[in-house]
Amino acid sequence: MKIKELVSALERFAPLPLQDGFDNAGLQIGLTDAEATGALLCLDVTEAVLDEAIALGYNVVISHHLSFQRV
């Protein structure tokens, strides 16, 4: 599955127009045409989470809390 297909499925489940004003939902970093090699779900993106994703060979991290603040 391509990352853009995964993002599309997530956005059908949780449409972006429903986000709060402070949310920064959607794809933050990545190449949408790349194949998803695996996805790691987490509450917060931490160094340990990224290390685990790398160790597992996953190239997608889905977090509940936002990783970046809007500027």
57 Rama sector, left if φ>0, alpha if ψ -120 to 50, beta otherwise: left
| Residue ranges covered by each domain of the chain | 3-63
pLDDT > 50? residue 71: no
pLDDT > 80? residue 7: yes
pLDDT tens column, 15-70 = 888 887 777 777 777 778 999 999 999 999 999 999 999 999 999 999 888 776 55
Predicted pLDDT of residue 70: 53
Predicted pLDDT of residue 8: 92
Predicted pLDDT of residue 60: 93
SS3 call for 33: coil
User: For residue 61, which of 37, 31, 41, 47 has the smallest C-alpha distance?
Assistant: 41
Tell me the whole-structure pTM to 2 decimals. 0.79
